[in-house]
């Protein structure tokens, strides 16, 4: 199958048609993410971020549906109630931007059209943009506060770093997410006139330590952890083989394009999720050992929390100053 954006949209439409024909009470369906933004392919693999709105409560909030070894649907399920206050959705740091430029696929009763119009209205007004940025910063502060508990490392630290960076980056474009998130952070913070946010984000992750990596070995260890998580979660889980292929293809493409640091945050985040899904027993010790060895190399273990927390605090303080200046300059 030759993968194009048009083909991915067609596959999403076919999935909606299949479900509606089977009796699923779907009110609306729309696309967000990389396919909606016209940049779905990376390394020959793609996901299709499909949102389905249901008249009744769906059986699960999200699911992964493989379509081929290189393509899968990443489906988010919403109830109609989620859209009751569209003017509140427009200041949500994730759903506001998602609803500003979706791709309509299925909306026979115009339910989503009405909700999207309310969410999109005055989306770019400075006070609304600032509200989304402040929401990111607030969440980063919350994750920072939880880092006194060692069990939140490195997950909470990684998220606080990204949320802090997104607080600034979202003032110049959609928030950074997915496989290209590091590239998006660089692009948006440069456009904002604050490229130091991107540089500081990389320092928080200790990206310079990647120069000592044997990358094939690192990716092999990551892959083993993902495989173990897939074996445990089964075919319905987030760790399906199609997800492993999706991320690995992206990592390889970014490295080949001369952007090795761009893989760091997604690599650490997905690896952390895989390790957290495995039981704390001897049969999985080899996966934890490889993971903890990498974290030690990156100085991202809880034992390094003193230095890391100081750096994170300074980073978030700087981002807060950027937001204050932007608000002043833009009358927000």
**pLDDT tens-place string over residues 253-290:** 999 999 999 999 999 999 999 999 999 999 899 999 99
- For domain 5-120, give the fold: Beta Polymerase; domain 2 (3.30.460)
- Which candidate, 93, 227, 108, places its Cα nearest to that of 167? 93
Q: What is the mean pLDDT of the chain?
A: 95
- Which candidate, 183, 196, 188, places its Cα nearest to that of 319? 196
pLDDT value of residue 1? 63
pLDDT value of residue 14? 98
How far is it, in rounded angstroms, from Cα 99 to Cα 122? 12
Buried b (16+ CB within 10 A) or exposed e, 9-43: bebbeebbeebeeeeeebbbbbbbbbbbbeebbbb
pLDDT value of residue 235? 63
pLDDT value of residue 2? 80
Domain with CATH 3.30.460.10 in the chain: 5-120
Buried b (16+ CB within 10 A) or exposed e, 250-278: bbbbbbeeeebbbbbbbbbbbbbebbebb
pLDDT value of residue 216? 96
How far is it, in rounded angstroms, from Cα 17 to Cα 23? 10
Phi and psi of 180, rounded to 5°?
-95, 15
How confident is the model over 235-263, as pLDDT tens digits? 667 899 999 999 999 999 999 999 999 99
Instruction: Please report, for the chain, how many H helices and E strands are present, in that order.
Output: 14, 5
Collect the ranges in the chain with pLDDT lower than 50.
none
């Amino acid at each position: 199958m030759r993968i194009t954006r048009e083909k991915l949209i067609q596959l999403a439409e076919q999935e909606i048609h299949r479900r509606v024909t089977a009796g699923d009470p779907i009110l609306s369906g729309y696309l967000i993410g990389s396919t909606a933004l016209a940049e779905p392919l990376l390394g020959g693999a793609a996901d299709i971020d499909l949102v389905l709105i249901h008249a009744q409560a769906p059986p699960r909030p999200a699911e992964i549906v493989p379509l081929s070894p290189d393509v899968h649907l990443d489906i988010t399920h919403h109830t109609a109630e989620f859209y009751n206050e569209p003017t509140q959705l427009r200041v949500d740091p994730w759903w506001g931007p998602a609803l500003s430029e979706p791709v309509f696929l299925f909306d026979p009763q115009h339910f989503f059209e009405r909700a999207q119009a309310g969410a999109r209205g005055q989306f770019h007004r400075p006070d609304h943009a600032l509200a989304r940025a402040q929401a990111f910063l607030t969440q980063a502060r919350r994750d920072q506060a939880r880092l006194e508990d060692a069990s939140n490392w490195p997950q909470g630290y990684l998220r606080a770093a990204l949320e802090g960076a997104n607080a600034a980056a979202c003032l110049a474009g959609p928030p950074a997410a997915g496989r290209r998130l590091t590239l998006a952070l660089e692009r948006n913070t440069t456009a904002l006139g604050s490229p130091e946010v991107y540089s500081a984000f990389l320092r928080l992750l200790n990206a310079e330590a990647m120069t000592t990596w044997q990358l094939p070995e690192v990716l092999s260890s990551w892959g083993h952890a993902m495989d173990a998580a897939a074996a445990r979660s089964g075919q319905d889980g987030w760790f399906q083989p199609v997800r492993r292929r999706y991320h690995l293809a992206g990592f390889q493409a970014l490295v080949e394009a001369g952007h090795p640091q761009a893989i760091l945050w997604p690599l650490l985040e997905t690896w952390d999720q895989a390790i957290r899904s495995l039981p704390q027993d001897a049969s999985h010790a080899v996966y934890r050992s490889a993971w903890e060895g990498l974290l030690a190399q990156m100085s991202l273990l809880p034992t390094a929390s003193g230095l890391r927390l100081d750096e994170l605090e300074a980073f978030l303080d700087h981002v807060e100053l950027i937001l204050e200046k932007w608000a002043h300059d833009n009358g927000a």
